[in-house]
Structures are given as C-alpha cells and as structure tokens.
C-alpha cells in the first residue's frame, strides 16, 4: 500500500513501514496514514520501521503549523490535534508483534519519540539522535519523555531533553538507546531484515506475552502474576514439547 508519507511493504511474515516523506518529515498526512497502515498488517509477525532518505527530520513544522496555530491557547482543541499524533505512536507501541526501528541519518524530535515506542532499535554509523523541542520553546509531548528514561536512564533522558543536543550512533549504543550499530545503511537494513526473520519464527503468543510483561507498569508481584496468567492461558503441552525437541532435550 502506498500513501503520500508512508509505504507498507511485505516480505512473507515481515512487514516494513517506510517513512517516504522528504527527509522523513512527519506532517499531518503521516499521522493520518499510520493507523490504517497498522490496521493493514494482517498476518505479519514482525514490523520494521525505517526511513527513506534518512529516518526522520521530526515534525514537519511548516505543514503542521496551520493545524496547530488555531488551537494554541485552547487546551481542549490543542489536545484534540495532538491526539491524532498520539494515536499513531501509541498504536505502534500497542502492536502485539515485535517492532524493530532501523535508523539511518537523522532521527529528530518526533522521530525519536516514535522509535522510543518500538521494541528494538538498530542504527547505522551515520545515525544522529536529537530531541530539540526545548530549543523551539516547547515540551516534547508524544511519549518520548515518558519512555526514554526507561531506555537510557533518567539522567541521559534529561540530557537529551533539556539540552536539545544531538548524540551520535556510538553514544546511542553506549547509552542503550540502540542495541546495535551497523557500518552502513545497507548493512543496517540487512541486519534488521535478518533479525525480523528470526523473530518471525518464534511462537507469536510467547512474543506477545513477553511484550506485555516488558511494557506493563506494575508492581513487581503484580507483574509476575500477569506473566504467570498469560502462560497459564496460552502455553500448550505440544508447544512446550516441540520447543524441547528443537533444543535437543
């Protein structure tokens, strides 16, 4: 399926959502197009999110200004505008399948908030990450300030958000924002595809249950009970025996 800002491709059980707008700018069309794209995943078992020119230049301020400007000073109207953006990012985070962000080039502002909602993040050596909203006189409000502390720690999240300064791929790996740095974009996309293929072969219910347990903001004991309840409902004797056979046990 092809839209003006995103393209959803498919290779077997792996889907790829590519940001196709110029420099990955996230304008009104992007936020409208993501939810129906996610609804079209069908039987996909893994989703890769990537950019075309580079990952994302962040919010397309020029295209978005006419939408936001009339709502300024009106909390309810402003919340309604931002709700469309939230629906796209929270919809991505809520997918029951693993989501891999493959980042090359710049990943700025809303783009960084977008990848923070993914499960796994890889990048190429040319990647740069920035959350510059404070320099624009605004507060990041698309989930990055809520998710980044859990990914990189509160201190490093504060450094990104309060200074607006970019970090390179090496720092992103050192901080834990990404788990792998590949030498080139081509190597990045190949690695993301190989990782997606590996995940697609794993039991989908186990992956979904693991995602739920990782994302649940519950006290320790309640989190344990949630994981136990999931296994009690979805684990099967046949599945367990097949897994043991696969390990040679």
Exposed/middle/buried for residue 97 (C-beta within 10 Å: 0-12, 13-18, 19+) = buried
Domain co-membership, 187 together with 224: no
Where residue 221 falls among pLDDT bands split at 50, 70, 90? confident
Residue 1 within a domain? no
CATH label of the domain that carries residue 78: 3.90.226.10
In terms of C-beta distances under 8 Å and separation of at least 24 residues, what long-range contacts does 77-84 make, across chains too? 82/141, 82/142, 84/28, 84/31, 84/32
Exposed/middle/buried for residue 60 (C-beta within 10 Å: 0-12, 13-18, 19+) = buried
Domain co-membership, 166 together with 230: no
Distance CA 246, CA 104 (A): 36
The pLDDT value recorded for residue 249 is 41
Average pLDDT, rounded, for the chain: 91
**Closest-CA residue to 142 (of 188, 184, 176, 109):** 109
Distance CA 227, CA 191 (A): 30
Mean predicted confidence (pLDDT) in 150-175? 98
Domain co-membership, 21 together with 113: yes
Domain co-membership, 158 together with 223: no
Domain extent for 231:
204-246
Residue 25 within a domain? yes
Tens of pLDDT, residues 82-108: 999 999 999 999 999 999 999 999 999
Q: Are strands 25-26 and 58-59 parallel, antiparallel or unpaired?
A: parallel
**Closest-CA residue to 17 (of 39, 34, 42):** 34
Domain co-membership, 162 together with 236: no
Residue 96 within a domain? yes
Mean predicted confidence (pLDDT) in 22-26? 96
Domain co-membership, 108 together with 223: no
Distance CA 94, CA 49 (A): 14
Phi, psi of 247 (to 5 degrees): -90, 0
Residue 87 within a domain? yes
Task: Kindly state the percentage of the chain with pLDDT values over 70.
Answer: 91
Are the C-beta atoms of residues 117 and 93 closer than 8 Å to each other?
A: yes
Task: Kindly state the percentage of the chain with pLDDT values over 90.
Answer: 79
Residue 169 within a domain? yes
The pLDDT value recorded for residue 125 is 98
84: Cβ contacts below 8 Å, ≥ 6 apart: 28, 31, 32
Crossing angle of the two packed helices 204-215 and 220-234, in degrees rounded to 10 = 170
The domain boundary, picked from 179, 200, 221, lies at 200
Domain co-membership, 102 together with 223: no
Residue 78 within a domain? yes
Domain co-membership, 132 together with 234: no
User: Does residue 228 carry a pLDDT above 90?
Assistant: no
User: Does residue 28 carry a pLDDT above 90?
Assistant: yes
The pLDDT value recorded for residue 241 is 52
Residue 135 within a domain? yes
Where residue 218 falls among pLDDT bands split at 50, 70, 90? low
Domain co-membership, 164 together with 234: no
Nearest 5°: CA angle at 111, between 170 and 37? Answer: 125
Q: Which of 50-59, 119-128, 222-231 shows the lowest mean pLDDT across its residues?
A: 222-231
Domain co-membership, 120 together with 164: yes
Residue 176 within a domain? yes
**Closest-CA residue to 213 (of 234, 242, 191, 239):** 234
The pLDDT value recorded for residue 240 is 54
Domain co-membership, 175 together with 234: no
101: Cβ contacts below 8 Å, ≥ 6 apart: 48, 49, 50, 55, 114, 115, 118, 120, 121, 122
The pLDDT value recorded for residue 2 is 45
Q: Which of 10-24, 32-46, 139-153, 201-215 shows the lowest mean pLDDT across its residues?
A: 201-215
Total domains present in the chain = 2
Domain co-membership, 138 together with 225: no
Distance CA 96, CA 176 (A): 23
């Amino acid at each position: 399926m092809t839209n003006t800002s995103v393209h959803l491709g498919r290779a077997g059980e792996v889907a790829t959502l590519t940001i196709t707008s110029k420099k990955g700018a996230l304008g009104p069309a992007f936020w409208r197009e993501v939810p129906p794209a996610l609804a079209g995943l069908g039987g996909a078992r893994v989703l890769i999110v990537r950019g075309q020119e580079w990952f994302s230049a962040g919010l397309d301020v020029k295209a978005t200004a006419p939408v936001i400007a009339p709502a300024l000073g009106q909390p309810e109207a402003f919340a309604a505008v931002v709700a469309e953006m939230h629906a796209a990012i929270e919809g991505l985070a809520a997918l029951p399948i693993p989501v891999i962000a493959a980042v090359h080039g710049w990943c700025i502002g809303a783009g960084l908030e977008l990848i923070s909602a993914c499960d796994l993040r890889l990048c190429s050596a040319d990647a740069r990450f920035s959350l510059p909203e404070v320099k624009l006189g605004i507060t990041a409000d698309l989930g990055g300030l809520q998710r980044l502390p859990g990914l990189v720690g509160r201190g490093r999240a504060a450094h990104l958000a309060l200074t607006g300064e970019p970090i390179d791929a090496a720092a992103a790996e050192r901080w834990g924002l990404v788990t792998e740095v590949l030498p080139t974009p081509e190597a990045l996309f190949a690695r993301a595809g190989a990782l997606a293929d590996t995940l697609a072969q794993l039991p989908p219910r186990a992956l979904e249950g693991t995602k739920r347990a990782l994302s649940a903001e519950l006290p320790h004991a309640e989190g344990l009970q949630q994981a136990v309840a999931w296994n009690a409902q979805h684990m099967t004797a046949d599945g367990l025996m097949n897994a043991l056979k696969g390990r040679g046990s």
